[in-house]
């Protein structure tokens, strides 16, 4: 949907930050020309913290392949902690099911930074606090799960994912598994008595793990250091220019949907306003379901979500709309958009820049050789396509909003959103001499290790 011009305010704020940073970077450069080489340092990382019993249950579940019909697939199979809780491979859609050969219909998103996502609403208040209420919020690409717990239940039962035959089967696997006692400790001695409630508690455990474990929201990117004026957060000229393009309403205009600044619940720079938009992503022929020319994944209005299907009363205003994903760790991904049609960040920014000026580059052709623009959305719903910059509907063959060099700088900025940034050794200031003599060099904290099945089993055995 079209957003109101808050982007101008956000752009001004971001550019003000950038201007201050440039001044500081210039001062730092002048000072370093005569200063001794600074001491080495590591980026701040999420410190290990004790998880609640419920979160410990969720952690064990997350890495447990026995909670699948195949016995070989866990949550971490598709949401790999070492790949920002997203797939490690470059498949457009993942394979699951009892035989691990059933293809999904959508790209698997990251599970990071979900703790500030509000439930879905048809009249969601955009966190920019200016845009009018519109569809927004919720988990998954179509927002049909209101909480992390509800979302967690979807893959457990989906035939092309973990493929459990029923909620009761999931509960039975937990009850007869190695952490059944921990489940009872977390939820009470009668936690397995009511099977429906026990399944809901299992979802709640996964939610507790994802909200309590800081690896899901470490805020440890270079941009976080920059945004919070921390040592090591100096952006390069290309990265700063990319930030300007990100917020410029006449260039990238990414900030119109990928919000930078304060968000819901006191969150900062989540890089999504949780809104829904139809941007006309090309059809992905690799997805088996798309072999049927009558099949269309239309996001908000089906087929997976069924409460917004087109009717006489509802003409399909939401058809083709998908929830705006976060851009944190976007540079680590291997499949982009709801259907995984793109596999590099370079492809993505070029699509945004040339969707309208070079449609032949992105879309299929009909039997007569005519480009079928927006080929993954029926023509009757194409009025829903967003028309904000840079996707402003300009004439084919006209000048694109950004140059090749600008696109490179935009990608450079997007790379600063990757967590786990390690501050270069030469960016650390020399320890100062105080009244009690030279400061004792501090040993940088070791980043908290990413959870793995082996580490969890080892901890549980203690």
Q: What is the pLDDT of residues 220-230, one digit of tens each?
A: 999 999 999 99
What pLDDT, on the 0 to 100 scale, is given for residue 431? 65
CATH of the domain at 276: 1.10.760.10
Q: Which segments of 127-237 are extended strands (E)?
A: 134-136
- Over the stretch 333-392, which tens digit does the pLDDT of each residue have? 999 999 999 999 999 999 999 999 999 999 999 999 999 999 999 999 999 999 999 999
Asked whether 350 and 362 are in contact (CB, 8 A), the reply is: no
Q: Does residue 232 lie within any of the structural domains?
A: yes
Q: Does residue 196 lie within any of the structural domains?
A: yes
pLDDT confidence band for 40 (50 / 70 / 90): very low
What pLDDT, on the 0 to 100 scale, is given for residue 435? 53
Q: Are residues 283 and 395 in the same domain?
A: yes
Q: Does residue 448 lie within any of the structural domains?
A: no
Among 179, 192, 191, CA closest to 66: 179
Please state the domain count of the chain.
2
From CA 107, how far away is CA 90, in angstroms rounded? Answer: 10
pLDDT confidence band for 453 (50 / 70 / 90): low
Q: Does residue 114 lie within any of the structural domains?
A: no
Q: Are residues 261 and 314 in the same domain?
A: yes
Percent of the chain surpassing pLDDT 90: 75
Q: Does residue 327 lie within any of the structural domains?
A: yes
Q: Are residues 226 and 175 in the same domain?
A: no
Domain finish residue from 190, 217, 244: 217
Question: Which SS3 state, helix, strand or coil, does residue 18 take?
Answer: helix
Q: Are residues 208 and 243 in the same domain?
A: no
Q: Are residues 165 and 177 in the same domain?
A: yes
Cis bond leading into 303, ω under 30°? yes
Q: Does residue 266 lie within any of the structural domains?
A: yes
From CA 125, how far away is CA 148, in angstroms rounded? Answer: 20
The phi, psi pair for 136, rounded to 5°, reads -175, 165
Q: Is pLDDT of 42 > 50?
A: no
Q: Does residue 45 lie within any of the structural domains?
A: no
Least-confidence region, from 142-156, 185-199, 447-461: 447-461
Q: Are residues 202 and 264 in the same domain?
A: no
Q: Are residues 205 and 238 in the same domain?
A: no
Q: Are residues 191 and 269 in the same domain?
A: no
Among 456, 460, 451, 458, CA closest to 111: 451
Q: Print the domain residue range for 284.
A: 6-24+221-415
Q: Are residues 208 and 165 in the same domain?
A: yes
Q: Are residues 152 and 248 in the same domain?
A: no
Write the DSSP string, 150-182: HHHHHHHH-TTTT--S-HHHHHHHHHTSTTHHH
Q: Does residue 238 lie within any of the structural domains?
A: yes
pLDDT confidence band for 262 (50 / 70 / 90): confident
Q: Are residues 205 and 324 in the same domain?
A: no
Q: Is pLDDT of 29 > 50?
A: no
């Amino acid at each position: 949907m079209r957003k109101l011009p808050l982007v101008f305010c956000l752009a001004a704020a971001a550019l003000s930050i950038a201007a201050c940073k440039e001044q500081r970077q210039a001062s730092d450069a002048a000072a370093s020309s005569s200063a001794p080489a600074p001491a080495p340092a590591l980026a701040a990382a999420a410190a290990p913290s004790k998880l609640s019993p419920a979160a410990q249950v969720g952690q064990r579940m997350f890495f447990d392949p026995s909670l699948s019909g195949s016995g070989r697939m866990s949550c971490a199979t598709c949401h790999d902690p070492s790949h920002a809780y997203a797939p490690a491979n470059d498949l457009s859609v993942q394979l699951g099911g009892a035989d691990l050969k059933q293809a999904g219909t959508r790209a698997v998103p990251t599970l990071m930074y979900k703790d500030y996502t509000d439930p879905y609403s048809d009249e969601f208040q955009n966190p920019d606090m200016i845009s009018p209420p519109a569809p927004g919020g919720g988990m998954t690409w179509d927002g049909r799960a209101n909480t992390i717990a509800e979302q967690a239940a979807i893959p457990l039962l989906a035939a092309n994912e973990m493929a459990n035959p029923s909620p009761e089967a999931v509960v039975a696997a937990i009850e007869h598994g190695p952490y059944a006692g921990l489940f009872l400790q977390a939820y009470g001695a009668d936690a397995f008595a009511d099977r429906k409630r026990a399944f809901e508690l299992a979802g709640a455990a996964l939610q507790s793990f994802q909200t309590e474990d800081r690896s899901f929201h470490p805020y440890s990117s270079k941009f976080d250091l920059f945004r919070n004026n921390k040592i090591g957060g100096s952006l390069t000229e290309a990265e700063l220019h990319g930030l300007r393009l990100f917020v410029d309403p006449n260039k990238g205009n990414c900030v119109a949907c990928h919000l930078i600044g304060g968000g819901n619940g006191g969150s900062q720079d989540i890089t999504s306003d949780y809104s829904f938009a139809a941007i006309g992503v090309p059809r992905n022929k690799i997805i088996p379901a798309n072999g049927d020319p009558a099949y269309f994944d239309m996001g908000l209005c089906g087929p997976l979500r069924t409460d917004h299907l087109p009717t006489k009363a509802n003409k399909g205003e939401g058809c083709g709309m998908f929830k705006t994903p976060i851009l944190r760790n976007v540079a680590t991904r291997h499949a982009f958009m709801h259907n995984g049609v793109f596999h590099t960040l370079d492809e993505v920014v070029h699509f945004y820049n040339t969707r309208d000026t070079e449609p032949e580059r992105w879309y299929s052709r009909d039997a007569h050789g005519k480009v079928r623009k927006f080929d993954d959305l029926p023509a009757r719903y194409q009025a829903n396509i967003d028309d904000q910059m840079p996707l402003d509907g300009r004439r084919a063959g006209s000048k694109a909003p950004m140059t090749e060099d600008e696109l490179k700088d935009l990608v450079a900025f997007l790379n600063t959103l990757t967590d786990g940034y390690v501050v270069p050794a030469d960016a650390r200031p020399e320890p100062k001499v105080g009244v009690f003599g030279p400061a004792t060099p501090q040993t940088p904290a070791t980043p908290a290790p990413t959870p793995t099945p082996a580490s969890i089993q080892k901890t549980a055995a203690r």
